[in-house]
Amino acid sequence: MGKILSLLLCFLISNLAVSSAQTCGNYAFSSNEIYSTCVSLPVLDSHLHWTYHPSNGSVDLAFRHTGSATSQWVAWALNVGGRGMVGAQALVAVTSSNGSVQAYTSAVTSYGTGLQPSDLSFSVPRIRAERVQGVVVIYATVVLPPGGTSFNQVWQVGPVTNGAPAIHALDPANRNSVGVVDFSTGETTASGAVGGARLRRRNRHGVLNAVSWGVLMPMGAMAARYLKVFTVANPAWFYIHVATQTSAYIVGVAGWATGLKLGSDSTGITYDTHRNIGIILFSLATLQVFALLLRPKPDNKYRFYWNIYHHSLGYSIIILSIINVYEGLDILDPEKKWKNAYTGILISLGVITVILEALTWFIVLKRKKDDKRTHAGTNGANGHA
């Protein structure tokens, strides 16, 4: 089990390393423009490339959004006096239904904005946009306002209806598309709904719960089902099963508690489905742990019903856990790389399950046959005697 777990962790880590290495700097622009810095923004499939000129405080930049559609607008903005949408000094690209792209600037003054063209509080000597193979790029030069090189940034994607930009969706990704960018150091931080410390707590919550509920618990169930069949592993399978599930439960409760804290701290966005499944899971798992203490002896006539109860509750917990890990990963990781890694782990566990299931049936059937043969042999001998 330990070996399998470490293999799975290696798989997860290599998966993450590959997906983060591919993202940013080696993108080839159709215009052959080269930028000295590139950051992948945490949500909405967006990247910011730029070159900062300290001599005149100007930045040549390219804001790139992949997976773009026609009848869609994209915007990237600095918010000089505040944070978030109101006050954003935006570079906008509007893709019409025929695929042509218009770029302009728009200073956002209210939540009811239609992103009408207007001048910004700083100078934008150059702006244009293009859309190539589903990738929209806004190219611009901005002259940074005085007061440093670090600014609040915000970016967004929304639909175009009747030729005009319309309100964007309010999904977690659309609400978390804010942060800080420092054009001189190249550092970016997410500072909006998902601030630095909060992001770390969310990641901790995600890792604790995905590992405990999403990986350890299914492995504990596999230990019970597939080790039992080997006579040498009796009664070891029982202790392995109890140890795995108990540690999964303890880590899972810790992860669950971090989730409650995150939930009570979050303002505005609530993740009701994820939260409710989490509460149900905690109750069912607690019941399952205490039911272990109440289990009848193997020869008790109620043991049969206890087994049915224990198995059905156990499988329900595993299914709900997997559903809730996916719910959580959708909230945590709009870029989907964690989700892909977790899917990879589940597929590996699934393949192992299929192999072990086949092996178990093979062993059980073979044992039955052998038993029959020995019985027949003994009876025959007796008969002769």
Ligand X SMILES: *[C@@H]1O[C@H](CO)[C@@H](O)[C@H](O)[C@H]1NC(C)=O
- Tell me: is residue 47 an annotated ligand-binding position: no
**Residues in contact with ligand X, total (CB under 6 A)?**
11
Nearer to ligand X, 160 or 215 (CB): 160
Please identify, among the stretches 92-100, 175-183, 203-211, 332-340, the one whose residues bind ligand X according to the rule CB under 6 A.
Answer: 92-100
Closer Cβ to ligand X, 70 or 360, answer by number: 70
Binding flag, residue 98, ligand X (CB under 6 A): yes
How crowded is residue 77: how many other Cβ atoms within 10 Å of its Cβ? Answer: 26
Q: Which among 243, 222, 208 has a CA at the least distance from the CA of 325?
A: 208
Q: Which of 17, 18, 31, 53 binds ligand X (CB under 6 A)?
A: 53
> Between residue 152 and residue 171, which ones bind ligand X under the rule CB under 6 A?
163
Residue 375 labelled as part of a binding site? no
Q: Alpha-carbon distance 6 to 11, whole Å?
A: 9
Per 3-state DSSP, the chain is made up of helix, strand and coil in percentages (nearest 5) of 50, 20, 30
- Give residue 243's identity as a one-letter amino acid code: A
What gap in Å lies between CA 246 and CA 249, rounded to an integer?
A: 5
**Smallest distance from the beta carbon of 94 to ligand X, in angstroms?**
9
Ranges of H-type helices in the chain: 2-21, 172-175, 196-211, 217-227, 236-265, 272-293, 303-332, 337-384
Q: What angle (nearest 5°) sits at the alpha carbon of residue 73, between those of residues 72 and 78?
A: 160
Please count the other Cβ atoms lying within 10 Å of the Cβ belonging to residue 45. 19
Backbone angles phi and psi of 76, in degrees to 5: -130, 135
Q: Is 125 in the site for ligand X (CB under 6 A)?
A: yes
Residues 127-156, interacting with ligand X (CB under 6 A): 141, 143
| Residue (96 or 113) nearer to ligand X, CB | 96
Piece in contact with ligand X (CB under 6 A), picked from 54-62, 63-71, 145-153, 353-361: 54-62
The DSSP code for 296 is P
CB of 28 vs ligand X, minimal distance in Å: 22
Q: Does 382 bind ligand X (CB under 6 A)?
A: no
Output the six-digit token pair for 193. Answer: 């709904």
C-beta of residue 349 within 8 angstroms of C-beta of residue 241: no
For residues 56 and 382, which CB has a smaller minimum distance to ligand X in the complex?
56
Question: Any contact of residue 70 with ligand X (CB under 6 A)?
Answer: no
Tokens encoding 382: 């007796």
Site string for ligand X, 305-334 (x = CB under 6 A): ------------------------------
Positive or negative torsion for Cα 67, 70, 72, 78: positive
The answer to whether residue 96 forms part of the interface with ligand X (CB under 6 A) is yes
Q: Which residues sit in the known binding site?
A: 205, 241, 274, 310
Which residues of this chain interact with ligand X, rule CB under 6 A? 53, 55-56, 58, 96, 98, 100, 125, 141, 143, 163
